[in-house]
Amino acid sequence: MGKASVTIKEIARELNVSKSTVSRALRDSSEISEETKQRVLELARQLNYSPNPIALSLLKNRTHTIGIIVPDIANAFFSSAIAGVEDVAYSRGYHVMIYQSHESYERELIDARHIATRRADGLVVSLASSSERYDHFRELQEQDIPVVFFDRVTDAITTHKVLVDDYKGAFEATEHLIQRGCQRIAHIAGPPKLSISRNRFNGYKDAMDKYGIAMRDEWVVSSEYNQAGGTERAYQLMALRERPDAIFAASDRIALGVHWALRQLGYRMPADVALIGFSDLAISSLLDPPLSSVAQPSFEIGQQAAELLLELIESRNTPVSFETRVLKTKLMIRKSSMKEIS
Amino acid sequence: MGKASVTIKEIARELNVSKSTVSRALRDSSEISEETKQRVLELARQLNYSPNPIALSLLKNRTHTIGIIVPDIANAFFSSAIAGVEDVAYSRGYHVMIYQSHESYERELIDARHIATRRADGLVVSLASSSERYDHFRELQEQDIPVVFFDRVTDAITTHKVLVDDYKGAFEATEHLIQRGCQRIAHIAGPPKLSISRNRFNGYKDAMDKYGIAMRDEWVVSSEYNQAGGTERAYQLMALRERPDAIFAASDRIALGVHWALRQLGYRMPADVALIGFSDLAISSLLDPPLSSVAQPSFEIGQQAAELLLELIESRNTPVSFETRVLKTKLMIRKSSMKEIS
DNA sequence: ATTTTTTACGAAAACGATTGAATGGCTCGG
DNA sequence: CCGAGCCATTCAATCGTTTTCGTAAAAAAT
């Protein structure tokens, strides 16, 4: 009927010593005789004692838990990043508590507050697409709960950040399309509130500029980072009088929607329309034609974010200089963008 | 510099009453005068007081946290199930702590022990493919930490379980292939330690029997539930002197590998080989040809598992009769299995 | 032999909250 | 005028652990 877990008190009673002695013996304190230590250790092992982390938390005000807020767990990019966070957290004795913002600012705010009341030791977060206020993160920082951003970051909060060079990745993707002879290159951008959306757009724009290719307003549209948005925008773009001959989608999820739409509409990729996405989800290479994409090391991003966070947590009160780690993207060229050069 | 969070004690001091009075006032106890209540409530609001859940946990021996162990977060089936768990846990004031077994028994054991020492209120788990001992779950139950299984369950532990009718799903998938005129139907099963693997195999076998179709030993192979395994097995199957004209893969991840391999090898689906998977991942419908599959309501599975778990948690000590919820699968017929009937 | 130091341990406070029991003051009935 | 009863509040214990401050006895130094 539920054997209550053994406490230090029981060991003490059993051995006719005080709780303090037991505690010290377990921590191998020098002021306990070798003999007593042995007796305590032996009994503790025998009773399968393990210290109650909740009591410790109360005492030390440290929970050994870190929170992570992502827009959507089921998104492969995020679940992979979570796996990265979990990887280093686990190896350092921390546990990961998951929260989803569902792309909603309100939910993100509630999640952040929850993390504060729950006394997590820190937070790793990737912003919701609708967030434009960031005070909830500042509140956490003021309560000595460090925050580290990854991927979807903001300049409004000074802290560690981990992301990829979105600008450069987008630039290279666009440049690649241009080099394959595409002239009418459309861009489906992400929600403009997110810096990754803006940076990717800028990469696109500057590549177009560099090669002196005209950008048309109607060829630049915006969508949430999901498949439905991609499909919708693809229909919209292909309905234009002047159709694009290439589409650079700000994410693979958008690109998946475009891919589907183009097939529905009977376009051939890349002959009619070249397509390239961003993130290189595992599925992208399985599509037919396989989708070109700008690869992001999602697992590694999670790992590094967790490392930086743990660093902040474990060096509390010692001021550090915050860094922004910019990881490399890698252009994965596949059939969807390999237009024959005429 | 980190404003320490307000405690009941401070409110008490400020108001010149005792901690008990404050506590009772906050809980709206009848033995506190209306006036005092108002004063306490007002100050609490003003100081933005929120009770320390750790102190509560220590006192009540309840953490309002549930653990979840899955083989791999980044697997879409599991991340979706996690989202389901998170959905109901969140709405009932519980938090979700994530653990990965990485398909390893040892890691699963460690995770389970961690959950015990961390004093989670309960556990939702889907077994690692290498697990064949289950004492770690029994240990949890003996410590009054209820466990609920989903998808990958075991008969060895009596508790609530949530899964789909794997047998029937497999039977229908196989039947469908037969009805499309396939005669040489291979099956790539999952790891035999998992009951889902065995049930799916049995569904396949019984369908073959029902229609009097000969099963060949060399057409039944086994693989881990991942893409690489599928690819490998596909090569193996297609190299046989007597090639199969259809493959029923025990999971979509396996089927993805098969899909890729068949394309590499130049087979047409479904003309040369019909293919069907299990789980209906979001990507499956995006492949070319789109992959037929047996859909599992992963999100709902997670939800129901969480509901059952919370029921167990909140009715501790009142004995319940355990149930196994069997959800329905749905056969998603797409091009990969739609062989022309000759 | 006396003082000082070391050794080995215990008592109690602290962390933040809840709660059963006790207490002080008050009113009221007899 | 005294005891009963009630109200509002406080006291103290509890949860499991660490840690500061004592302290008795033993060992060492004088």
Same domain? For B291 and B181 the reply is yes
Q: Are residues A291 and A171 in the same domain?
A: yes
Q: Angle of helix B76-91 relative to helix B298-314, nearest 10 degrees? A: 40
Whether A341 has a pLDDT exceeding 90, the answer reads no
Residue A172 shares a structural domain with residue A292: yes
Query: Please, which residues bridge with residue B91 across strands?
Result: none
Q: Which of the four pLDDT bands, split at 50, 70 and 90, describes residue B198?
A: very high
In a shared domain, residues A92 and A37: no
Q: Has residue A42 got a pLDDT over 90? A: yes
How deeply is B93 buried, as exposed, middle or buried, from its count of CB atoms within 10 A (0-12, 13-18, 19+)?
exposed
Identity of the residue in A55, A98, A287 whose CB atom sits nearest the CB atom of B98: A98
* Per-position b or e across B103-119, b if 16+ CB within 10 A of its CB: bbbebbbebbebbbebb
Does one domain contain both A96 and A160? yes
User: Which chain B residue has its CA at the smallest distance from A281's CA?
Assistant: B283
Given an 8 Å threshold on Cβ–Cβ distance, is A118 in contact with B95?
yes
Q: Does the pLDDT at position B4 exceed 70?
A: no
Whether residue B86 and residue A100 make contact (CB cut-off 8 A), yes or no, is: yes
Do the chains contact at B50 and A117, CB–CB below 8 Å? yes
CA trace torsion B221, B226, B228, B231 (10° rounding): 50
Q: Supply the pLDDT for residue A162.
A: 98
Same domain, B195 and B285: yes
Question: Does residue B96 carry a pLDDT above 60?
Answer: yes
CATH code, domain with A45: 1.10.260.40
Listed as ranges, the nucleotides of chain C within 7 A of a protein C-beta are 7-21
Per-residue pLDDT, averaged over B239-254, amounts to 97
Alpha helix segments (H runs only) across chain A: 8-15, 19-26, 34-47, 53-60, 76-91, 105-117, 135-142, 166-179, 195-210, 227-238, 252-265, 298-314
CA distances, B311 to each of A340, B105, B129, B156 (Å): 61, 28, 28, 21
User: Mean pLDDT across chain B, nearest whole number?
Assistant: 94
Domain assignment of residue A91, yes or no: yes
Q: Quick check: B20 contacting A, CB < 8 Å?
A: no
Contact B247, B186 (CB under 8 A): yes
Quote the mean pLDDT of chain A: 95
B170 and B289 co-located in one domain: yes
Indicate if the pLDDT at residue B341 is higher than 90. no
Q: To the nearest whole angstrom, how far is the Cα of A209 from the nearest Cα of chain B?
A: 34
Residues A146 and A178 in one domain: no
Q: Is B80 on the interface with A (CB under 8 A)?
A: yes
* Disruptive mutation site among A73, A94, A96 for chain B (greatest number of B CBs within 10 Å): A73
In a domain, A1, yes or no: no
Banded model confidence at residue B3, pLDDT cuts 50, 70, 90 = low
| Higher pLDDT pick, B65 / B1 | B65
Nucleotides of D under 7 A from a protein CB: 7-12, 14-20
Q: How many CB atoms lie within 10 A of CB B165?
A: 17
**What was the pLDDT predicted at A77?**
96
Please tell me which of the candidates B83, B256, B288 has its beta carbon nearest to residue A74. B83
Assigned domain for A114 exists: yes
Round to whole Å and give the CA distance between B245 and B180. Answer: 11
- What CATH number is attached to the domain comprising B125? 3.40.50.2300
B3 within domain boundaries = no
Q: Tens digit of pLDDT for each residue in B12-49? A: 999 999 999 999 999 988 888 888 899 999 999 999 99
Strand, coil or helix: A55: helix
Count CB-CB contacts under 10 A for residue A311: 14
Domain count along chain A: 3
| Count of positions (residues) in chain A | 342
A204 C-beta neighbours (distance < 10 Å), count: 25
Alpha carbon of A168: minimum distance to chain B alpha carbons (Å)? 27
Pair A259, A321 in one domain = no
Whether residue A2 lies within 8 A of chain B, CB to CB, comes out as: yes
A151 lies in the same domain as A71: yes
Query: What gap in Å lies between CA B87 and CA B21, rounded to an integer?
Result: 36
B41 is in which domain, residue-wise? 8-51
Residues B289 and B323 in one domain: no
Q: Is the bond into A53 cis (omega within 30 degrees of 0)?
A: no
Summarize pLDDT for A177-221 with one digit per residue, the tens. 999 999 999 999 999 999 999 999 999 999 999 999 989 999 999
| Cα–Cα distance measured from residue A336 to residue A290, given in angstroms and rounded to the nearest whole number | 6
Question: What does the buried/exposed string (b/e) look like for A87-102 if buried means 16 or more CB atoms within 10 Å of the residue's CB?
Answer: bbbbeeebbbbbbbbb
Contact B53 A100 (CB under 8 A): no
The H or E element containing residue B176 is helix B166-179
Which of A92, A95, A299 best tests the B interface by mutation, with the highest count of B CBs <10 A?
Answer: A95
Pick B54's closest partner by Cβ from A57, A114, A286: A57
Q: What is the pLDDT of residue A4?
A: 65
| Same-domain status, A292 and A170 | yes
